[in-house]
């Protein structure tokens, strides 16, 4: 039986489905710290983090979450040692190849958000193949933020709109929130309801700054390799207990 056909776990049966998040975004932090605390190479933390990606993706699919966005590689991460960057690119390429069966079995639709520049050609080829293979699926969207920075995303959106204004396809008066959203990497996607960050860090780190305007924030002290199904359930339960007023008053 495909994971997408399995009924949600009873651990959340007491939480009204209407109060669950539809779109969860996660800043996956703490791989290096997880490894260092165990006197392991930092690269081992990244390797173990892939297991958490798999567990979280499959559990979100099983629960019927509509979208999951994972912060895989920020545009600032290129400042890290070359050995670590090369390893991260290897992991990404390997993930794109080895997880295709899981992606198809779970009916996932894969999308990349971020700039393609600087990503090695062989990684882009495997990524594009996986995106194409999953394009006719109908299940959860798995959005992978790779070489992503929210400020860069906004710059790219402004430039795209500027180019349209220059050739008469758009006027400045027509630009509103919907127009800007339509020119972001996430065009067509609903904004996240819940933003999760691991490793206890209390910052956004240039992630989805426009899209998380009204997202609920949930931070766990667990480093990403320790993030599991139970942690995900805790985040959903916390989200469900909050009153979301979107700037208005509670009725």
Q: Which helix (H) or strand (E) holds 39?
A: none
Residue 1 lies in a domain: no
* Contact in structure between 147 and 114 (CB atoms under 8 Å): yes
CATH code at position 124:
3.40.1180.10
Residue 58 lies in a domain: yes
Residue 48 lies in a domain: yes
Position 4 scores a pLDDT of 40
Cite the active site residues. 29, 77
Structure tokens at 175: 């630009």
Position 2 scores a pLDDT of 39
Q: Which domain holds residue 33?
A: 20-149+192-238
Residues near 14 by beta carbon (within 8 Å), at least 6 away in sequence: none
Counted residue by residue, the chain has a size of 251
In angstroms, the CA 35 to CA 179 distance is 43
In angstroms, the CA 33 to CA 170 distance is 48
Position 245 scores a pLDDT of 75
Position 141 scores a pLDDT of 98
HEC profile of 62-93: HHCCCEEEEEEEECCHHHCCHHHHHHHHHHHH
Q: Which helix (H) or strand (E) holds 157?
A: helix 150-166
Domain count for the chain, please give it. Answer: 1
Q: Which helix (H) or strand (E) holds 100?
A: helix 100-105
Position 186 scores a pLDDT of 97
180-216 pLDDT tens trace: 999 999 999 999 999 999 999 999 999 999 999 999 9
Residues of the chain below pLDDT 70: 1-10, 247-251
Residue 163 lies in a domain: no
Residue 80 lies in a domain: yes
Residue 113 lies in a domain: yes
Position 5 scores a pLDDT of 43
What secondary structure letter does DSSP report for 241?
Answer: T
Residues near 232 by beta carbon (within 8 Å), at least 6 away in sequence: 56, 59, 60
Residues near 171 by beta carbon (within 8 Å), at least 6 away in sequence: 165
* Contact in structure between 28 and 72 (CB atoms under 8 Å): yes
Distance from CA of residue 1 to its chain's centroid? Answer: 26
Q: Which helix (H) or strand (E) holds 156?
A: helix 150-166
Position 222 scores a pLDDT of 98
Residue 49 lies in a domain: yes
Residue 34 lies in a domain: yes
């Amino acid at each position: 039986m495909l994971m997408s056909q399995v009924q949600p776990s009873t651990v959340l049966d007491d939480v009204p489905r209407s109060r669950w998040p539809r779109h969860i975004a996660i800043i996956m932090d703490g791989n290096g710290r997880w490894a260092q605390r165990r006197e392991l190479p930092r690269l081992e933390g990244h390797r173990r983090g892939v297991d958490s990606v798999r567990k979280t993706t499959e559990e979100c699919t099983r629960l019927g979450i509509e979208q999951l966005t994972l912060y895989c590689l920020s545009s600032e991460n290129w400042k890290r040692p070359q050995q670590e960057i090369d390893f991260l690119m290897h992991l990404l390429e390997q993930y794109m190849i080895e997880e295709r069966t899981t992606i198809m079995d779970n009916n996932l639709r894969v999308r990349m958000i971020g700039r393609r520049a600087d990503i090695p050609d062989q990684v882009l080829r495997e990524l594009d193949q996986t995106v194409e293979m999953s394009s006719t699926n109908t299940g959860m969207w798995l959005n992978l933020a790779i070489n992503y920075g929210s400020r860069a995303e906004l710059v790219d959106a402004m430039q795209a709109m500027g180019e349209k204004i220059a050739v008469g396809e758009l006027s400045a008066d027509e630009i509103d929130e919907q127009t800007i959203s339509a020119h972001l990497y996430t065009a067509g996607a609903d904004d996240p309801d819940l933003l999760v960050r691991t490793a206890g860090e209390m910052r956004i780190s240039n992630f989805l700054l426009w899209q998380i305007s009204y997202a609920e924030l949930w931070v766990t002290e667990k480093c990403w390799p320790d993030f599991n199904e139970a942690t995900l359930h805790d985040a959903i339960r916390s989200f469900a207990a909050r009153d979301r007023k979107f700037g208005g008053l509670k009725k």
